Structure 1
């Protein structure tokens, strides 16, 4: 049993790491409700406006896996703190940006910093809280902060914009990031894998550049898929990512042990994370735009409607720990994705005059499913890899989420927005596509979960035999 002093330190650790995740998601979603104001203030054209929305995803996808692996080997607290510092620097850069290019570069830097905060924050939680109810409680709070950050970002952005200047949002983020860095340095305990390793520079560069090229191709692809730049980016992404896989297979001390994917539980968690990002998260990222431009909502009103989804996900994530331990993570993820599908169903029948209550009811149901998935993914991400690789597990899981989100936002935008078309009608089709993806994802998650049950049973039998023979 922990002493009061130990309990207080544990509570501080959870507050800082979960708070870091909340801040990272707040930063991620902050521009969603104020894109027109940001684009106008920076004189951004159509392509630049797309980059305003996508640039942080680029930084996240490039750095999440590398940050988690580096944290495992060189100190999770150290990487978490430096991530907060980088997040502050990127936020200041975006807030002071004189033009769209500087703003976009600042958002990429924000993504790199947020990647370290998210990946190493979850790894610190895994190190601090033992498996069972304590970790379930902690990852439930982490999942709740994930949803809360998504909700707070657009709302704060909208209020700042209404108050006079969207740049106020970035001033707030910069200050909070500095506070996070100081709190992490003072109160977090250091942890690492204990392995003597060097940073896999080649692997980090290949993965970061490959994912960066892929997400750049997705962003540029919103303007058309046959331009020389688009085709070049796709080709570069394929070559670099193939090179990354080949390097990881052969290199000693590689950042990612590909044999981890032999365990179906890791594939199940990664699939659940990808589908959540590409489905409901991507749809919610576009919803404020649809409400403002398709249904004539004000910026603040649109943010408040989306808050129904986030608030429901926060509450449910906190309550997920009360689900009996006999209900496995795979079952909870699969059920959560099906609940998300049910909640999105009313959002496929919208018109410009649809009742706000129709929106809210659907969003609350989808939020309940999202809360279950978010809380469960946090736990499964680190449970599906060896304890020494918690940062790597977190990086894999969150990379899947943000690559999925980038792909999903692109698909939703292409489906919903077309010249001369009805934005609300396009939204309905996009919502139907996201429902289909969530249902397919639920089936895949469950199938891999069942495969992991058999894998674990076989592993126990093998371990028992080896123990007897030795």
Structure 2
């Protein structure tokens, strides 16, 4: 049985470089695929004959698969082999990308995107687990997790640009054929990786898996569908199902001898910081930035490609900042740096206030730059906390819990930003006013998250 590799043996292993390169490439592909529809939503909706409600699902359905599967696949990977689950994820992503590429209608496309989300969850959770298994705590792991975190920003930057470019060359479906090919190549590259798993695997927690996936899936579905009407019976039923399932999951995990998620971890300041930080990042950063390219097109009149390129200022600097985070003094606590990242994100959002139909895109550049640096710093620290806040051998579970909070937060954030931005109307002036309010609300939430990061860091163990 293979276990976590020591740094010395990992350094000598032929797959040592691949242990960072392959997970980084997987994260890049997953985030590019996550953001790809942003730039081609109108073309995709026309091609699939999707109405207004269906368009919400075209954009958000991948979040359902991601959030529902992240913690579950992370736990499975720790116990049954990270490489094995990674390879399954790459194969399923390839197959589901083909489904999206040939989808005849919105229903088939949405189903494909949900499965893409679950497959991406396998790549994200196992990828950082593989990194943690190959690098001991210290500067080398800090560098490796920084690279992994940097791919989040780079993927967000490249996804809309790549999909828009491919749409211009051969239609919106071309991105999904490209994603399928990339997934196959990714799986082939992963074959060189050594297998790793926890030294003491646990039994399969089927009741925990079922209630968690149902609960998180119902919650994200309710949030997504709720954007078309929060008081609809189906939406209320989904919220009720989420509450029942997640309560059942908590009760099951509290009574199991070897739970999938040890609830005692929430008494660890570092783990609590990882979850709260990820949730705030989704709420206050990903939520508003996911909407910004569309708003630039509607309010400032930019083309979809131009709007994606402007947004790439934020995501590109996020990539660069996460890469450079390893150069920060190791004596600085991750919690303090996470708080600084959230505070910078808030400052950048405040700097973007004043959006108006007669404004220019360059007016947003200073705020995008500051927010990008803050986002990169936060991503690097969240990646480090995800693997260092859990027991040795549970890195994929820690990553899954961290990213579940991130994408649940993002789903809520997108819903809130959309409601605020369109609350006054859909004209250019109304959208500009609503977006300014959404930026202010997001900044306040990010500042509250920064304050919590400092507070949680000081809680005694």
Tell me the secondary structure at the aligned position of residue 32 of structure 1: helix
- Structural RMSD (CA): 1.4
**Mapped pair 1:344 → 2:344:** no
Could you tell me which residue of structure 2 aligns to residue 372 of structure 1?
Answer: 377
Deviation, structure 1 residue 283: 1.1
**1:89–1:109: 8 Å Cα contact kept in structure 2?**
no
* TM superposition shift of 1:356: 2.0
For 1:123, the equivalent position in structure 2 comes to 129
- Maintained 8 Å contact 2:62/2:113: yes
1:195 lines up with 2:203 in the alignment: no
The aligned counterpart of 2:457 is 449
Q: How far off its partner does 1:3 sit?
A: 9.1
For residue 251 of structure 1, the aligned residue among 245, 248, 256 is: 256
Between 98-107 and 199-208, report the one with greater CA deviation. 199-208
Supply the distance in 1 between the matched residues of 2:11 and 2:224 (Cα, whole angstroms). 49
SS at structure 2 position matched to 1:80: helix
Name 1:293's counterpart in structure 2.
Answer: 298
Aligned residues: 452
- Counterpart among 125, 140, 147 of residue 134 in structure 1: 140
Find 1:216's aligned residue among 214, 221, 226: 221
1:14 aligns with 2:20: yes
**Inter-partner Cα distance in structure 1 for 2:109 and 2:408:** 21
- Residue 384 (structure 1) aligns with: 389
Alpha-carbon distance in 2 for matches of 1:199, 1:93: 30
1: CA distance, partners of 2:221 / 2:37:
19
Q: Which of the residues 148, 165, 179 maps onto 2:185?
A: 179
Residue of structure 1 in register with 2:405 after alignment = 400
Q: d(CA) in 2 for partners of 1:14 and 1:216?
A: 33
2:437 equivalent among 429, 432, 440: 429
The CA deviation at 1:4 is 11
1:6-405 mapped onto 2 (5 Å cutoff): 6=12, 9-184=15-190, 186-405=191-410
Cα distance per residue 1:98-117 (max 9 Å; x no partner): 00000000000000000010
Distance (Å, rounded) in 1 between the aligned partners of 2:214 and 2:30 = 22
Structure 2, unpaired ranges of 5+: 1-6
The alpha-carbon deviation at position 420 of structure 1 amounts to 4.7
Maintained 8 Å contact 1:268/1:446: no
* Matched residue, 2:415: 410
TM-score, normalization by structure 1: 0.94
Q: Pick one of 434, 448, 455 that aligns with 1:440.
A: 448
Shift of 1:5: 7.5
TM-score, normalised by the number of residues in structure 2 = 0.96
Q: 1:3 to 1:420 in 2, by over 3 A?
A: closer
Deviation at 1:450, TM superposition (A): 1.1
Deviation string, structure 1 residues 57-98 (Cα, Å, up to 9, x no partner): 000011000011000000011111111111111111111100
Q: Counterparts of 2:68 and 2:308 in 1: how far apart (Å)?
A: 29
Q: Give the C-alpha shift of residue 445 in structure 1.
A: 1.1
The one-character-per-residue Cα deviations of 1:370-399 (angstroms, maximum 9, x if unpaired) are 110111111111111111211111111011
Q: Deviations over 1:297-319 (max 9, x none)?
A: 00110000000001101111111
Quick check: 1:22–1:148 contact (8 Å CA) kept in 2? yes
3-state SS, counterpart of residue 387 of structure 1: coil
Unaligned runs of 5+ in 1: 456-470
Q: Verify the 8 A CA contact 2:125 2:399 in the aligned structure 1.
A: yes
Cα pair 1:269 1:445 within 8 Å, conserved = no
CA distance in 2, matches of 1:302, 1:6: 45
- The whole-number CA distance in structure 2 between the counterparts of 1:439 and 1:65 is 27
- What is the CA distance between 1:151 and its match in structure 2? 0.7
| Residues 300 and 361, structure 2, Cα contact 8 Å, conserved in 1 | no
Query: 2: CA distance between counterparts of 1:199 and 1:29?
Result: 33
Closer, same or farther: CA 222–6 of 1 in aligned 2, 3 Å: same
The alpha-carbon deviation at position 199 of structure 1 amounts to 1.7
State the alpha-carbon separation in 2 of the partners of residues 336 and 196 from structure 1: 35
